[in-house]
Amino acid sequence: MCGADIVNAAGLSDIAQRFDEASGYDTAARIQKRCAMELADRIRRIFCGKSPKRILEFGCGTGFLTAELVRLFPHAEIVATDIAPGMIRRAQSRLHVPNVRFEVMDAQRPKPDGRFDLICSSLCLQWFTDRALGLARLASQLSAAGRLMVTTLARGSFDEWRKACDTERVPCGFPTYPEPDALASDWPVNGHGKWDVVDLRDTPADGMTFLRELRDIGATTPALHSRSAGIALRRVIRRFDSTMSGVTYKIAFGDFERHIPKGVFVTGTDTGVGKTLTSACLVRAWHANYWKPLQTGLAEEDGDAPTVRSLARLSDNRMSPSAYALQAPLSPLAAAEMERITIDPARFSLPSCSDTTPLVVEGAGGLLVPVTDDWMLIDLIALYGMPVVLVARSGLGTINHTLLSIEALRARAIPIAGVVLNGAPNPGNRAMIERFGHVRILAEIPLLPSLTAEVIDERAQFMPPPDSIFGPDATLSTSNSEIA
Ligand SMILES: Nc1ncnc2c1ncn2[C@@H]1O[C@H](COP(=O)(O)OP(=O)(O)OP(=O)(O)O)[C@@H](O)[C@H]1O
Ligand SMILES: C[C@H](N)[C@H](N)CCCCCC(=O)O
Ligand SMILES: [Mg+2]
């Protein structure tokens, strides 16, 4: 049950309130139970004997799937969430096990909570108002090869009811559920997903029972029970009862696996801090490809890609065009608004890269730079999951900026490869950042007399070897305690 929309006096969204009041859920939810069991069996087969360490379930309802997860993975840490507090209370009353933590959460805005090896949900996704964005946010919390496994309603669900409504020329009141192709296009860009649709038949006693049971599970939509629909509804029920023998649920089973490409995301404590310079050095040192997904300020400059191409002597086939190339020297959101463009953050597919050719991605400005009304640059970094190279000035003021940036990255469990200090060497600041940031200083770039390809050739020799970032003994900083 998900989907923050209109919020009532109790602070519950409209959808949350309906599920909060769905008192008869368990008895009416025959299909929900069958879906949860089938999804659990698919999860069992995918993990075949191995147990995910951390599991996030969203839209847990009264805990059908949660109970199966506990049975399958008794030693996993399970975080079971739902947008409706009433559902959480019922699930908690059903499941008293130490390895399950129940939380009220809107799955469309999942709160950062580390990495999960499995994120799963049964019959909740259909309540998302923006499925692609919601899935991208959830997939950002998957571990390196983590799985996102869900069920949702697909086109053709309740067609028997729709036909009765069409015959009686009455609006059917159900949303138009997506075709499998539409579902497929909503998979996040940080991995590979597939869907398959299974028909589940349900045989409620009659049309009135069908509607009442939908209400009992909180799954109805306002149009079905508005006053004015009363008379017309009785005609539809008569039509349904006289022509139909049951209801089909087209259940789409989704299975998505995260893939973290071999590369780094170069971000900084600020704009103008040396991200492009560092990117050019890394590209040169690693023979890497380069991408600048979000470029602004083209009214005043050529942009970072041409700069990296020239400084790192990069051929065109080693670069990809920016997803958005904007004129104003502003944040991507502000620059896009000036051009009446809406940035779609869930569709930034990474350019191809390979194990032999890593990818260097450069951000725009610092971490909390707005890209859309509810998507920051740091969310893009979390989505890709690549280790971060944080570029910071070397001089006074950098300790605060750098530790704040590290704190923001840690809060989202984004791995940090290390910090590049740019400017006149400052051993004191370096020591403070290492000591309080628990990060490696990957390189120090002094003030350079000029920026040429020859200077970059020379500086590239001081960059860390790729194996120290991507190899089996890579030391990425993932927590304040130590360099993992
Ligand atoms: N160590 C250095 N020595 C000399 N010039 C430098 C040095 N570092 C950066 N610069 C210059 O400072 C300016 C900003 O550097 P750069 O473009 O790399 O910053 P950035 O973080 O990529 O900025 P943006 O946020 O716009 O992408 C550039 O003109 C660059 O040539
Ligand atoms: C224009 C500039 N060079 C970058 N491309 C964009 C920097 C955005 C910074 C937003 C901010 O933190 O105030
Ligand atoms: Mg730059």
Model confidence band, residue 2 (pLDDT cutoffs 50, 70, 90):
very low
pLDDT at position 12 is: 67
pLDDT at position 5 is: 45
Residue 10 has pLDDT above 70, yes or no: no
Residue 225 has pLDDT above 70, yes or no: no
363 is in an annotated binding site: yes
pLDDT at position 16 is: 73
Ligand at shortest distance from the CA of 395: 1
DSSP three-state, residue 442: strand
Query: Between vectors from CA 293 to CA 289 and to CA 296, what angle results, nearest 5°?
Result: 125
Is the C-beta atom of 267 inside 6 A of ligand 2?
A: no
User: Which residues lie below 8 Å from residue 29, measured CB to CB, with a gap of 6+?
Assistant: 61, 62, 64, 217
Side-chain half-sphere CA neighbours of 100 within 13 A = 25
Residue 229 has pLDDT above 90, yes or no: no
pLDDT at position 221 is: 61
pLDDT at position 465 is: 94
**From the alpha carbon of 304, which atom of ligand 1 is closest?**
27
Q: What is the mean pLDDT of the chain?
A: 90
Q: How far is the CA of 422 from the centre of ligand 3 (A)?
A: 13
- Which domains are delineated in the chain? 3-157+175-206+246-258 (3.40.50.150), 263-470 (3.40.50.300)
Tokens of 335: 């620059």
Strand segments, DSSP code E, in 326-381 are 359-362, 370-372, 375-376
Range 229-244 average pLDDT = 88
ipTM over 0.90: yes
> Is 111 in the active site?
no
Q: Which tens digit of pLDDT belongs to each residue from 156-196?
A: 999 999 999 999 999 888 888 999 899 999 999 999 999 99
Residue with tokens 């400052």: 426
> Quick one: CA dihedral 62, 66, 71, 75, positive or negative?
negative
Distance between CA atoms of 394 and 445, rounded to whole angstroms? Answer: 9
Beta strand 191-202 with 247-258 is antiparallel
437-471 as b/e, with b when 16 or more CB fall inside 10 Å? bbbbbbbbbeeeeeeeeebbeebbeebbebebbbe
Between residues 355 and 309, the one the model is more confident about? 309
Q: How far is the CA of 86 from the centre of ligand 3 (A)?
A: 49
Q: How far is the CA of 363 from the centre of ligand 2 (A)?
A: 10
Is the C-beta atom of 332 inside 6 A of ligand 2?
A: no
Catalytic, out of 50, 53, 250, 292 = 292
pLDDT at position 345 is: 83
